[in-house]
Amino acid sequence: MGVGIEVSNLNAWYGTNHSLQDINLNMPGNHATALIGPSGCGKSTFVRCLNRMHETNPIARVTGSVLIGGLDIYADAKPVEIRRRVGMVFQRPNPFPTMSIYDNVAAGLKLNGYSNHRVLDDIVEKSLRNSALWDEVKDDLKKKSGASLSGGQQQRLCIARALAVDPEVLLMDEPASALDPVSTSKIEDLIFQLKTQYTIVIVTHNMQQAARVAENTGFFLNGRMVEYDTTHKIFTNPSDKRTEDYITGRFG
């Protein structure tokens, strides 16, 4: 089941660049939350702070607290534990190029020492069904490499790979920005289904996409969160002038 995320006083730096400033945000479980804003506003940095990927950059630093399902991920857990509970899908599909479709999906479990084949088979099938890819690849699971799929299929493969480790939260960093419109709409349909089981945080450039998939939307600008509300309110009656300027296309 998806769990809620509570972010308080989150600050993040890359070197001396203060890229996130005093973010406070509560995202409810089993909902999709969209984060919008112009390039470089800090929304990607923000989601990378939710699974501690931010700190894989040696010059990066974070302060503040993030509670996921009540667990303080910076105080009470190791990064590897957090990343198993908080899955991530990246902007560009990044399947493991030397692995088959099956091994890509099973990678997270296998690399953590899981080896029961029957259980793995079941998890791979379930994850591929959940990512709406099963019917397209079920005959080539071990024959084809993950990299031989089309871009849209690769991205759904990456979603299946993230789901296979049974996370509670799924972070999606512009998951459809490198895809064609048909693949994009498949990913959006998928987000609709997935949010019944997972908490989804989706970064997007595309405001219509935010409006279509998310219950709540946060607007980021220059490392700060300007406004956070229901998606309906943000897109119809924002309280901040900057949000209105952005969604009406005056900048960004």
Partner 1 sequence: MTDHAATFIAILSTVVVVTPLVAVFIYLVYRGASSLSLDFFTQVPKPVGVAGGGMANAIVGSAILLGLGSLIGVPMGIAGGIFLAEFGRGTKLANAIRFTADVLNGVPSIVMGIAIYSLVVVPQGHFSAFSGGVALGVMMIPTVCRTTEEMLLMVPNAVREAALALGVPNWRSVLSITVKTASPGIITGCMLAFARVAGETAPLIFTAFGNVGRSMRLDEPIAALPLQIWIYAQSPYDEWHRLAWAGALVLIVLIVLAVSLVRYVTSRGVMKGAS
- Per CB under 8 A, residues contacting partner 1 are 51, 53, 56, 80-85, 87-88, 90, 92, 94-100, 107-108, 111-112, 144-148, 158, 161-162, 165
Q: CB–CB of 195/30 below 8 Å?
A: yes
If the CB atoms of residues 161 and 195 are measured against partner 1, the closer one turns out to be: 161
Alpha-carbon distance of 134 to 128, in angstroms, equals 5
If the CB atoms of residues 201 and 221 are measured against partner 1, the closer one turns out to be: 201
Q: How far is the CB of 168 from partner 1 (least distance, A)?
A: 12
If the CB atoms of residues 145 and 185 are measured against partner 1, the closer one turns out to be: 145
Q: How far is the CB of 17 from partner 1 (least distance, A)?
A: 19
Give the sheet arrangement for strand 32-36, strand by strand. Answer: 86-89, 169-173, 199-203, 32-36, 216-221, 224-230
Q: Which of 14, 43, 162, 152 minimizes the C-alpha distance to 92?
A: 152
For the CA atoms of 97, 101, 102, 103, what is the dihedral angle to 10 degrees? 0
Q: Which of 149, 163, 53, 136 minimizes the C-alpha distance to 99?
A: 149
Instruction: Report residue 182: phi and psi, to 5°.
Output: -65, -45
Alpha-carbon distance of 105 to 114, in angstroms, equals 13
Q: CB–CB of 81/180 below 8 Å?
A: no
If the CB atoms of residues 93 and 238 are measured against partner 1, the closer one turns out to be: 93
Alpha-carbon distance of 234 to 228, in angstroms, equals 8
Q: How far is the CB of 21 from partner 1 (least distance, A)?
A: 24
If the CB atoms of residues 8 and 98 are measured against partner 1, the closer one turns out to be: 98
Q: How far is the CB of 227 from partner 1 (least distance, A)?
A: 28
> For 183-247, where are the E strands, in sequence order?
199-203, 216-221, 224-230
Alpha-carbon distance of 155 to 178, in angstroms, equals 9
If the CB atoms of residues 103 and 227 are measured against partner 1, the closer one turns out to be: 103
Q: How far is the CB of 92 from partner 1 (least distance, A)?
A: 6
If the CB atoms of residues 11 and 145 are measured against partner 1, the closer one turns out to be: 145
Q: How far is the CB of 201 from partner 1 (least distance, A)?
A: 13
Give me the amino acid identity at 213. V
Q: Which of 131, 141, 157 minimizes the C-alpha distance to 100?
A: 141
Q: How far is the CB of 68 from partner 1 (least distance, A)?
A: 13
